[in-house]
Amino acid sequence: MTYLSNRVLTMEESVTLAAGARAKELKAQGRDILSLTLGEPDFVTPKNIQDAAIKAIQSGKASFYTVASGLPELKDAINSYMEKFYGYSVDRNQIVAATGGKYVLYAFFMAVLNPDDEVIIPTPYWVSYADQVKMAQGQPVFVQAREENDFKVTAQQLETVRTEKTKVLLLNTPSNPTGMIYTAAELQALGDWAVANDILILADDIYGRLVYNGAAFTPISTLSEAIRKQTIVINGVAKSYAMTGWRVGFAVGNPEIIAAMSKIIGQTTSNLTTVSQYAAIEAFTGDQSAVETMRQAFEERLNTIYPLLNAIPGFEVIKPQGAFYLFPNVKKAMEMKGYTDVTEFTTAILNETGIALVTGAGFGAPENVRLSYATDMDTLKEAVDRLQAFMLD
Ligand code: GLU
């Protein structure tokens, strides 16, 4: 007999958070752990943003609730961000802010899904999508983005899983965990397919500004008027402004869906923490130079670590173009070390080398592990050295 709901009993724990927590716990016990688990920049929030938050606290403005969907000034700041990075404007009633991109996604699923409505999720996928869909009583439908196709799906593949119940196509580009970016032409084909079949597009653009080595990110919502109408954009400040702890996410799109999401937010968290809203206004409208400095640091780490990782026996890695993850295929490495289960392999790496990675199993990828390179270069180099020694042992 348990008091717990079937909902929670059938839900998976977030493997990224679990891996990050495990690494912290082992470190606290005095173990020599190098954590490449969480996708969390190692930089602190830029000074101008910190200052804006302090000012909001000291002036008293941060003491109070705001409307559930966010301050009008924040919505205007998000609109100016959209104008700058997406090239189009939106009205306030097309914008909602909430407690992190993760909660914005959840509010979206709660707002649009009826029991058994289907959400197409390309695999490998970020760990929380499928469980959030299930929490909202929807049905995740996975489409395998093949490694040979740079982990990208095609409209032909989507068509094979389309049913009467298909309601949403989820796209995350640049991708967590693969770091791949769909080209404008590829997105156009997916977007046209969604429009033709009246399927909503959920565009998780959170890594849009973290692109490297000349790669370009084209938001799907910019490709045509019809696609824009069909798309809910999800974005936030966490990854590109080093603001994971502030929990600021937002959605932009269809006013009816945005109002429904706001209703859910109003009945659950109420507004996004007021001080974080003031910090986000500065992030979106203030000096952007820190974003570029951090992007360059990630690019340098990628370019340094990628060849070293790819040279490790049994590790095969496609070079990512964005986000801050490497997603090696370790099938051969597992064979060499006598493992068949990637989670067990990840645990063995942790126990024997002190390198904390995230198992690909949580991303629907049983032959891969994920490394976050949002950490300093010395840690990354040391981690790769230890992995190399582990494989040669
Ligand atoms: N999104 C980050 C990651 O994938 C943070 C942890 C999480 O929310 O999953 O590592």
Task: Report pLDDT for 192.
Answer: 98
Task: Report pLDDT for 16.
Answer: 96
Ligand 1 contact via 260 beta carbon (within 6 Å): no
Ligand 1 contact via 127 beta carbon (within 6 Å): yes
Task: Report pLDDT for 360.
Answer: 97
Atom of ligand 1 nearest to the CA of 206: 1
- CATH classification number, 64-285, choose in 3.40.50.1820, 3.60.9.10, 3.40.50.2300, 3.40.640.10: 3.40.640.10
Residue nearest to atom 1 of ligand 1 (CA): 39
CA of 198 to the centre of ligand 1 (A): 30
Task: Report pLDDT for 198.
Answer: 98
CA of 58 to the centre of ligand 1 (A): 32
Task: Report pLDDT for 303.
Answer: 98
Task: Report pLDDT for 387.
Answer: 97
Distances (CA, A) of 374 to 74, 170, 299: 27, 25, 10
What are the residue ranges in the chain where pLDDT is below 70? none
CA of 12 to the centre of ligand 1 (A): 14
Task: Report pLDDT for 205.
Answer: 98
* Alpha-carbon gap, residue 122 to 120, rounded angstroms: 7
Atom of ligand 1 nearest to the CA of 16: 9
Q: Where are the domains of the chain?
A: 6-44+290-392, 64-285
CA of 38 to the centre of ligand 1 (A): 6
CA of 372 to the centre of ligand 1 (A): 10
Q: Report the 10 Å Cβ neighbour count for 128.
A: 19
Residue nearest to atom 5 of ligand 1 (CA): 39
Q: Mention the CATH class of domain 6-44+290-392.
A: alpha beta
Q: What is the pTM of this model?
A: 0.96
Distances (CA, A) of 165 to 110, 129, 152, 196: 16, 18, 23, 15
Task: Report pLDDT for 58.
Answer: 98
Distances (CA, A) of 269 to 139, 168, 262: 25, 24, 10
Residue nearest to atom 4 of ligand 1 (CA): 39
Atom of ligand 1 nearest to the CA of 358: 10
- What digits encode the pLDDT tens for the residues 32-88? 999 999 999 999 999 999 999 999 999 999 999 999 999 999 999 999 999 999 999
